[in-house]
Structure 1
Amino acid sequence: MLPRLQYGTTAKVFHWLIVALLIVQYLIGWLMPDLHRGQQPGKGMVFHISFGITILLVILLRFVWRLTHPVAPESSLPPWQRLSSELVHWMLYVLVLATTLSGWLFASFRGWSVSYFYLFPLPMLAGDNAAAGKAIDGLHQAAEWTLLVFVGFHVLAALAHLFVYRDRVMQRMLPG
């Protein structure tokens, strides 16, 4: 399949849906109280885990869509910008995957019984293990901060293309 020159509606919907879900996810994560050993997750954690699973599913769908519907890099970009763009996009995929899976593992190691938006129980990926839970919590936090840094790079690059370079690169992902 030959790469297209523009992103289609489906790719744009996936992109902006992930943006919205990540905003909600970070807000929930920052606003919910800390949980200590022996505590069961409350509503905040159930929604945090549920949004994480939703993000995981959407990012996997987006990844499959990207592989099966490639879009050619903007031809006007210098090689270093094309390379850095690809690197940042792949890092975003890896970091979303690492963040969501480490969060799910953390809940599993804590021995929590959680559900997907209170609709059905989620399978646990591992058994109760306090030491592993502590270690994976550190990895989860590192992944979420690293993801936020790469999202920041992505947003700054998009704004640079919009306001500095004025090369219409950002318009390829805008609705319309």
Structure 2
Amino acid sequence: MRMQSVDTRSHLYATGYDGVAKFLHWLVVVLITAQFIIGWTMPDIHKGTRPEGLIAWHLGVGATLVAAVILRIVWRLTHRPGPAPVSPLLRTVSHVTHGLLYLALVIVPVLGWANASSRGWSVKLAGLLPYPSISPVGSSVGHEMGDIHGYLAWALLALIGLHVAGALYHRFVLKDLVLQRMLP
């Protein structure tokens, strides 16, 4: 395997993500981590369950996650980093994985939001700014969205695992600076 020159390695670091992109990435990491911890420890939701305690926290963190993901997508579309010098195969794998991650980061919270709406629960950003209801109260489809939300959360977790494995592969196997592009 050929070692990259210092100039190439410096260029790789220079074409990394900007501070806003890094902040939004790590904010989403923290929020997703919180969501999984809350989701695993909160009580099961049944008919008549009230949005209290950990369920209320899950709704609040989810509302913040929706806002952070939207900001992240807008920032990513308007502020593209330079390409990492990787093989075409790794570039394709990266694009597909990132695309699926973004898709899951939109779909999973929206399905949870639809489920909350169907239960008549308010979803509020920072506990103050209410999001609109996206499914009618009592909607059987909205209730089913909660089950799909749970299943797709596992798929999101698998994608996150793949993403982390890819970053570690770059760091410890390829020994390039791709991981450093997103580190503070």
Q: Is the structural similarity TM-score above 0.5? A: yes
2:73 equivalent in structure 1 = 63
* Alpha-carbon shift at residue 25 of structure 1 (Å): 1.1
Q: 1:29 to 1:83 in 2, by over 3 A?
A: same
Letter in 1 for 2:63: I
Answer yes or no: is the 8 Å Cα contact 2:120–2:137 preserved in 1: yes
* Alpha-carbon shift at residue 112 of structure 1 (Å): 2.4
* Alpha-carbon displacement from aligned partner over 1:110-137 (angstroms, at most 9, x marks no partner): 2224544543544321212352234212
For residues 79 and 146 of structure 1, what CA distance do their matches in structure 2 show?
A: 26
Q: 1:85-104, aligned counterparts within 5 Å? A: 85-104=94-113
Letter in 2 for 1:144: A
Unaligned runs of 5+ in 1: none
**Scaled by the length of structure 2, what TM-score is found?**
0.86
1:6 equivalent in structure 2 = 16
**Scaled by the length of structure 1, what TM-score is found?**
0.90
Answer yes or no: is the 8 Å Cα contact 2:136–2:142 preserved in 1: no
After superposition, the CA RMSD in angstroms is 1.6
* Alpha-carbon displacement from aligned partner over 1:59-108 (angstroms, at most 9, x marks no partner): 11111111111112212x11110011011111111101001100000011
Q: Bigger shift: 39-48 or 119-128?
A: 119-128
* Alpha-carbon shift at residue 174 of structure 1 (Å): 0.7
Q: 1:113 to 1:9 in 2, by over 3 A?
A: closer
Q: 1:60 to 1:114 in 2, by over 3 A?
A: closer
Unaligned runs of 5+ in 2: 1-13
2:91 is aligned with 1:82: yes
Report how many residues are paired.
Answer: 171
Q: 1:48 to 1:114 in 2, by over 3 A?
A: same
